[in-house]
Chain A
Amino acid sequence: MIRAVDLRRCLDRRRALVALWLLQSGVGVVLALPWWAGVAFDEAARHPQGDAPLFEAGALLLWEVALGLAPQFGSMATGTFLLMLVGSILWLVPRAAFIESLHAPPHQPLAVAAGRGVRRFPAFVLITGATSLTQLLVLFFTLTLAASAAAAFVESLGERGSDQVAAGILLLGVAAVAILGVVRDLGFCHAVSQDESGLTSLIRALSAFVARPATSLLAWAAHAIWGAFTVLAAAWLVGLIDVSQPGTWRLALVLAVHQLALLVLALLRGAWLSRALSLARPVP
């Protein structure tokens, strides 16, 4: 469950929350720009109804644009991935600043939090690097294991049975990746609250997780589940609004729904980090 106290703590730092939301939306725009430009400068977008026909059911014109973009798809996807990678590293500064805000009393100036965020950058990089690398290794290992298991058990268990074994292994891998994510967040919180180095924070975060694994995981999972629900609900609502139909209000409404969803996701993330701050306290 999500604790009210964590939500309140987050809402009390609404300037930091809004800043983080705006920043994430801005990053989204930057990442999307090459894709948008590919569509906006395509002939298909020079329609009297603008790009509304691209969203029509059946997707005739959407396929047309996709065909036009196909030759550049590989390079655009690579570019977006690299941008996302660099962005993820730089994102550690606002992330640290946000945790600083959560840790500090309300109404702390954003500039102060940002300054502290910059100071935490090396520790956050170390924590992120160590956990992300381990996550990649775990994913690679479980994918390999799952593929081998699927092949090994197909004779004895059949297709569904062997796939289920593989899915079980993958699920374990995903759980391990999630645990590492939780440890990473606990490490962030420890680095901020205890003002310690990245390595020490990582070790302390591991101890904190081991001390309360179920509490930590359940607290993270609650926020993750609500996050997934938010994304699905937004998709459902947007499907109802249907921007292929005339009316600028539809676009405005979809924009509002999507931005609200991003804001809710930022709030949920903030609430989890608030909880993580308390979980990351040193075990007596």
Chain B
Amino acid sequence: MSSRIRQARSRATELVIGLLLVATAAWLSRAAAQPAAPPEPAAQRTSVAGAPPARIGPRYDDDGALPERATPVTDYTLSARLDPTTHEIAGSGSVVFRNTSAAPLGALYVHLYLNAFKNERTLFLRSPFVTARDGRGPSDFGYIDVRRLTARELGGRDIWPGSAAHTPGDPDDQTDIEVPLPTPLEPGQSLTLDLEFTAKLPSVVARTGYAGSFHFVAQWFPKLARLESDGTFAHFPFHPQSEFHADFGRYDVTIDVPEGFVVGATGARTESATEAGRHRVRHLADSVHDFAWTAWDRFQRAERQLDGIAVSVLYPPGHEANARTTLEVTAAALPILARRYGPYPYPSLTIVHPPAAAVDAGGMEYPTLITTGGPWYSQLLPGKGVELVTVHELGHQWFQGMVASNEHAFPFLDEGLTTHVEQSVMEELYGRASLGRWFDHPVSGRAMRRAYAASAAHDDVIAKPADQFASWMGLFGSVYSRTATLFDTLGNVYGKDEVERALGRYARYYRFAHPGPRHLILALQEVLGEEAAEQASLVLFEGGWVDYRVDAPESVPVREPRGVFERKGGRATVDRAGETQGERHESRVVVRRHGTVRFPVKVELVFADGRRERRSWDGRGSWTALSVVDRHPVVGAIVDPELRITLDQNLGNNATARGIMLAPRTLERTSYVAALLFGALAP
């Protein structure tokens, strides 16, 4: 796996390096073009994509100022009828769209995400090299056909026939469709759109589709792109490395499935009825920006009330142990997340564990509905896969669910922050063995993430759109692992509680809003200080990196100096080697910092008698020399002895010692394992 990551890193570096300047310049110019705006009242904070406010303030360090709900921009009332044989969904309903921007709108943008799986010429499927995380396309294709889109305020006129035939600039893709409006929609006006559509699910791919009678139904309806405050839409075609972005609103969805199918969906269930061989459920969800659901005739259900939240786990038969673990880890993680980033505001949470045949539906987040994964015997394995995925997806309820950043434009804001959340919560719950015990050795998630981070192109920009990474593994290394490792380092250097306070302030202020990278930096700046924010910005926006290393210590006995000296009695010449001053030694250790990022570090000097002494270095400059005079020479040195700067590109060069190191423990352990293996295999 690691070699694959390294290859991916090399390829990513080669391919992306030409795009870095363009991407950075584009981002900076866009950022510079945003007018400075005063902080908006919480109730109106539906779009804060412009410049961050001058100050968030400690008011958002606790839950006192939290908005109760989002200001709705798009309200969906939909009906969906599933045919499990053809895997088609007949959909109809209405959407109320409000122009909350400051500009009149001449067109709407509608995402038809399922069309990504229509054929092998779409943006999603056309490249055999740039793929989604599962690396596979569907064996059965999927699509969505819009039959009608009428606007009540325009006299019931069907505006769909006037829509673009394809994604702007891409005749082979139909996931991003412009729908011109006959008359502009003025600021403050609403449009009620009635629609009919048919969605054909693909075989499970990229967290949606069917496998046998299991159906996971995501991105299944015509979805309005998010309206920015300046009247533009945040629209984009469905790229295999990208996720989604939408406005908050209220979803009222009635799902109609054959009798015997168990349904799980976003929001709380308000109605449930079975008649004429069909089972109908109605789900209501307020202050969410997406709606996903699942239906399977074999689901088992485990339920628990957790602090007023109805938590349901839907799982395949035989996965009882996974379901128990999922509930337990949810019960443990929810209070931690609520304490750090504000309470979970919804009355329900549904966790779906897909069957093995639909493994690609696992590990995904939707508002109030997440999917996990793992074989039925996961709990017999030494790792903590189910726990890790559950915590990760739970974390997304905040960083993507409520703090609804643009997943396409800046995937690090949701995946990176959530990976940090996953890592820190797992460590809070399970300590250093947060990933499990491998061969009786406790292995932590942060160690694994750090390794992936170090494998990623270390000078690649993290804060850039998902489709500008060379591969999914490149995105994974930078967006998931490098961001999480940055926050791990910030926590180790500036205090874990302080980092969580900064993230809490960011999460609370932008709850039910759509922040960008600079909003996060503002929170870091306020809580951790200018220096920390500057380093974070370097890493996120400019491919900043750091590698501390220490040179072998040098020591000489302290002697009387030779030469010609002017003394009281006249000129004196000392021409023979000076006497040693007792048994004193002068030692010098040079510590170096490569890269553009700096953090203050400790340097540990190891003396010949085994004593250790710590010095501090602020990390400024590219090197520093530490000198010491002592009875014993310095024989070893370690920069960052507690390995706090996990962002360090190479932790292996952080220490040095005189003499030959024989790695005896390694020889002992590897030879024992080899002897055991040989004994087991040899006759």
- Write out the residue numbers on chain B whose beta carbons fall within 8 Å of the beta carbon of A29: 667, 671, 674-675
- Write out the residue numbers on chain B whose beta carbons fall within 8 Å of the beta carbon of A254: 665, 668-669
| A40 in contact with B666 (CB, 8 Å) | yes
| B440 in contact with A51 (CB, 8 Å) | no
User: What does the 1/0 interface line of B643-668 toward A look like (CB < 8 Å)?
Assistant: 10010001111011100011111111
| A64 in contact with B652 (CB, 8 Å) | yes
- A59 touching B442 in the complex, CB below 8 Å, given contacts A32-B670, A251-B664: yes
Chain A residue with Cβ nearest B454: A67
User: What does the 1/0 interface line of A83-111 toward B look like (CB < 8 Å)?
Assistant: 01001100110010000000000000000
State which residues 31-85 of A face B: CB under 8 Å: 31-32, 35-36, 39-40, 42-48, 50-55, 57-68, 70-71, 73-74, 80, 84
B62 CB to nearest chain A CB (Å): 32
- Tell me the complex Cα distance, A170–B355, Å: 22
B451 CB to nearest chain A CB (Å): 4
Chain B residue with Cβ nearest A161: B318
**A200 interface contact, C-beta 8 A:** no
Among the 9-residue stretches B533-541, B557-565, B578-586, B630-638, the one with 4 or more Cβ atoms under 8 Å from chain A is B630-638
- Write out the residue numbers on chain A whose beta carbons fall within 8 Å of the beta carbon of B664: 50-51, 251
Among the 9-residue stretches A11-19, A203-211, A234-242, the one with 4 or more Cβ atoms under 8 Å from chain B is A234-242
- Write out the residue numbers on chain B whose beta carbons fall within 8 Å of the beta carbon of A65: 652
| B447 in contact with A48 (CB, 8 Å) | no
- Write out the residue numbers on chain B whose beta carbons fall within 8 Å of the beta carbon of A52: 665
Chain B residue with Cβ nearest A37: B663
- Write out the residue numbers on chain A whose beta carbons fall within 8 Å of the beta carbon of B681: 84, 88
- Write out the residue numbers on chain A whose beta carbons fall within 8 Å of the beta carbon of B669: 55, 254
Query: What is the total number of residues of chain B having a CB less than 8 Å from a CB of chain A?
Result: 67
- Tell me the complex Cα distance, A59–B676, Å: 23
- Tell me the complex Cα distance, A54–B442, Å: 12
- Write out the residue numbers on chain B whose beta carbons fall within 8 Å of the beta carbon of A154: 356-357
B668 CB to nearest chain A CB (Å): 5
**B32 interface contact, C-beta 8 A:** no
Chain B residue with Cβ nearest A60: B447
- Tell me the complex Cα distance, A64–B671, Å: 21
B630 CB to nearest chain A CB (Å): 16
User: What does the 1/0 interface line of A235-269 toward B look like (CB < 8 Å)?
Assistant: 11011000100000001001100110110010001
How many chain A residues sit at the interface, stated as a range, is: 35 or more
Which of these, A42, A188, A262, contacts B672 with CB under 8 Å?
Answer: A262
- Tell me the complex Cα distance, A40–B667, Å: 9
A81 CB to nearest chain B CB (Å): 10
| B651 in contact with A60 (CB, 8 Å) | yes
- A44 touching B651 in the complex, CB below 8 Å, given contacts A73-B2, A73-B3, A74-B3: yes
- Write out the residue numbers on chain A whose beta carbons fall within 8 Å of the beta carbon of B318: 158-161
State which residues 8-32 of A face B: CB under 8 Å: 24-25, 27-29, 31-32
| B447 in contact with A27 (CB, 8 Å) | no
| B663 in contact with A63 (CB, 8 Å) | no
**B593 interface contact, C-beta 8 A:** no
**A231 interface contact, C-beta 8 A:** yes
- Write out the residue numbers on chain B whose beta carbons fall within 8 Å of the beta carbon of A57: 432-433, 441-442, 444
| B683 in contact with A91 (CB, 8 Å) | yes
| A24 in contact with B678 (CB, 8 Å) | yes
| A70 in contact with B2 (CB, 8 Å) | yes
**A128 interface contact, C-beta 8 A:** yes
B357 CB to nearest chain A CB (Å): 7
**A163 interface contact, C-beta 8 A:** yes
**B455 interface contact, C-beta 8 A:** yes
**A197 interface contact, C-beta 8 A:** no
| B636 in contact with A59 (CB, 8 Å) | no
Chain B residue with Cβ nearest A254: B668
**B6 interface contact, C-beta 8 A:** yes
Which of these, A61, A161, A185, contacts B643 with CB under 8 Å?
Answer: A61
| A42 in contact with B652 (CB, 8 Å) | yes
- Tell me the complex Cα distance, A25–B663, Å: 18
| A36 in contact with B667 (CB, 8 Å) | yes
Which of these, A40, A132, A159, A181, contacts B356 with CB under 8 Å?
Answer: A159
Which of these, A51, A58, A91, A188, contacts B663 with CB under 8 Å?
Answer: A51
**B606 interface contact, C-beta 8 A:** yes
Chain B residue with Cβ nearest A248: B664
- A60 touching B661 in the complex, CB below 8 Å, given contacts A32-B667, A45-B666, A231-B676: no
Chain B residue with Cβ nearest A232: B440
**B493 interface contact, C-beta 8 A:** no
State which residues 413-472 of B face A: CB under 8 Å: 432-433, 439-444, 446-448, 450-451, 454-455
| A160 in contact with B376 (CB, 8 Å) | yes
Chain B residue with Cβ nearest A85: B681
**A116 interface contact, C-beta 8 A:** no
| B653 in contact with A43 (CB, 8 Å) | yes
- Tell me the complex Cα distance, A95–B679, Å: 11
| B451 in contact with A243 (CB, 8 Å) | no
- Write out the residue numbers on chain A whose beta carbons fall within 8 Å of the beta carbon of B212: 155
| B375 in contact with A63 (CB, 8 Å) | no
Most chain B CB atoms below 10 A, which of A24, A47, A236: A47
- Write out the residue numbers on chain B whose beta carbons fall within 8 Å of the beta carbon of A45: 661, 663, 666
- Write out the residue numbers on chain B whose beta carbons fall within 8 Å of the beta carbon of A59: 441-444, 447
**B682 interface contact, C-beta 8 A:** yes
State which residues 155-175 of A face B: CB under 8 Å: 155, 158-161, 163
**A190 interface contact, C-beta 8 A:** no
- Tell me the complex Cα distance, A28–B454, Å: 32
- Tell me the complex Cα distance, A60–B646, Å: 9
**A120 interface contact, C-beta 8 A:** no
A58 CB to nearest chain B CB (Å): 4
- Write out the residue numbers on chain A whose beta carbons fall within 8 Å of the beta carbon of B375: 159, 163
| A63 in contact with B450 (CB, 8 Å) | yes
**B298 interface contact, C-beta 8 A:** yes
| B440 in contact with A64 (CB, 8 Å) | no
- Tell me the complex Cα distance, A244–B257, Å: 58
- Write out the residue numbers on chain A whose beta carbons fall within 8 Å of the beta carbon of B280: none
State which residues 563-579 of B face A: CB under 8 Å: none
- A32 touching B451 in the complex, CB below 8 Å, given contacts A48-B657, A70-B6, A84-B678: no
| B446 in contact with A58 (CB, 8 Å) | yes
- A43 touching B650 in the complex, CB below 8 Å, given contacts A57-B442, A84-B678, A132-B683: yes
**B15 interface contact, C-beta 8 A:** no
Chain A to chain B contacts (Cβ below 8 Å), 22 pairs: A28-B675, A29-B667, A36-B670, A39-B666, A39-B670, A44-B651, A44-B652, A47-B655, A48-B638, A55-B441, A57-B444, A58-B447, A63-B447, A74-B3, A87-B682, A95-B682, A154-B356, A159-B319, A236-B440, A243-B665, A254-B668, A262-B676
Q: A44-B653, A95-B682 are in contact. List 5 more A-B contacts (CB 8 A).
A: A25-B675, A28-B675, A48-B606, A54-B666, A124-B683
Q: Which residues of A contact B (CB under 8 A)?
A: 24-25, 27-29, 31-32, 35-36, 39-40, 42-48, 50-55, 57-68, 70-71, 73-74, 80, 84, 87-88, 91-92, 95, 124, 128, 132, 154-155, 158-161, 163, 181, 184-185, 188, 231, 235-236, 238-239, 243, 251, 254-255, 258-259, 261-262, 265, 269
Q: Rank and list the top 3 A-B pairs by shortest CB-CB distance, nearest first.
A: A28-B675, A160-B318, A48-B636
